[in-house]
Amino acid sequence: MIPMNNCSQAPQAISVREAAERYLNSWRDDVMDWEPWIEEVELARAEFARLINADAEDVAVCSSVSQATASVAGALEYDGPRDTVVVSQAEFPTVGHVWQAHQRLGAKLRWVPVEGGEISVDRYSEALDNSVALVSACHGYYQTGFKQDLEALVDLAHGAGALLFVDAYQTLGTHPMDVQSLDVDFLASGNLKYLMGTPGIAFLYVRREIADRLEPNVTGWFGQRHPYSFEVDVLDFAAGARRFDTGTPPISNAYIARAGMEIINEVGPVAIREWTEQLSRRLIEGGRERGLDRIGPDDPTRKTPSTAFVCTGDSHMAEAMLRERGVIGSARGHVVRMAPHFYSTMEDVDRALDALAEVFGGMA
Ligand SMILES: Cc1ncc(COP(=O)(O)O)c(C=O)c1O
């Protein structure tokens, strides 16, 4: 099989499987071994921190991007002059759902539109004023692969006195990320896409100066300064991003997540970006040569590794037909996405495009 579905779920790497087995063996043989298990969660936190050039203390362990977003949303105040959250139409729906749910607590939403599969920075500019508390932006648009200019967004948000929350799920692992030089306030990602992991774990970076001022209402004993003090009537948030930890961490998923992120950190997001841009170029040009209709940027440097081809029939049926031909694509709405990764070859791309042209041709 040729996996071209990294925008949805990466394939299983040998070292990732071994990590999962290490946990299962420990559970079977030692029955309960909390110290090393919790240590494994710390190693996963540190590996994520390495990926984004942060300190591990500035990273919280979450269960999903939805939870990370809800943790941030619940820690903001909406009863002062800054009661507005700017959200784009390119967010993964889950992020939009979380912000909408916070309207009940007073949050006012202002939507930034998607035009031609992309978002213009000017639209953010127009949406900003001194009522905005936070801009919630995705780095990569899951549908078209459009990649936002984060530096411009940080400048715009901070220039208007607002915070910036970034969902980097569609880019992390294929785009070098330095949260410190970027000066982003919050950054969240899960692990099952380009980070070679599985569902059930996600990470949230929170800038130190902000973290200590925030009191999350999505919380629990692992978000406390002394999680093992067992004082039910004391609420004493841990310092920094750790206050965004919640309950018993996702231990088995942490084993898997670390192993996946180690692969990415070893290969290196700079090299991965360079190679996936070449693969994107081939997808764009090869798609054009085969007469495939596509949405999203023409310039590989302005997109994630995911390339979206428009399906005139049922995209999920197209995905199933591709699978019969040995190619795993990813259907989303009216498109089928082809998302290679560092291990993909030009030949993989060519074969995937041939299969796609055959499937789409049969549907026309
Ligand atoms: C950009 C982006 N954000 C969030 C999600 C989902 O987040 P969660 O971890 O809450 O399922 C996805 C995809 O599945 C995504 O592509």
Q: Mean pLDDT, to the nearest integer, of 7-15?
A: 98
Closest CA to 250 of 172, 191, 298: 191
Position 279, amino acid: L
User: Is the minimum distance from the CB of 191 to ligand 1 under 6 angstroms?
Assistant: no
Q: What is the mean pLDDT of the chain?
A: 97
CA angle 222, 227, 229 (to 5 degrees): 160
Q: Mean pLDDT, to the nearest integer, of 323-346?
A: 98
Residue 28 makes CB contacts below 8 A (sequence gap 6+) with none
How much is the pLDDT for 364?
73
241 CA to centre of ligand 1 in angstroms: 21
Closest atom of ligand 1 relative to the 8 alpha carbon: 14
127 CA to centre of ligand 1 in angstroms: 24
How much is the pLDDT for 61?
98
338: pLDDT strictly greater than 80:
yes
CA angle 95, 67, 304 (to 5 degrees): 50
Q: Mean pLDDT, to the nearest integer, of 259-263?
A: 98
53 CA to centre of ligand 1 in angstroms: 22
pLDDT per position as a tens digit, 83-110? 999 999 999 999 999 999 999 999 999 9
pLDDT per position as a tens digit, 118-156? 999 999 999 999 999 999 999 999 999 999 999 999 999
Closest atom of ligand 1 relative to the 170 alpha carbon: 1
How much is the pLDDT for 134?
98
Closest atom of ligand 1 relative to the 69 alpha carbon: 10
Task: Give rounded-to-5 percent helix, strand, coil for the chain.
Answer: 45, 20, 35
pLDDT per position as a tens digit, 190-216? 999 999 999 999 999 999 999 999 999
How much is the pLDDT for 244?
98
How much is the pLDDT for 67?
98
- Residues making up the chain, counted from first to last: 364
DSSP state of 185: S
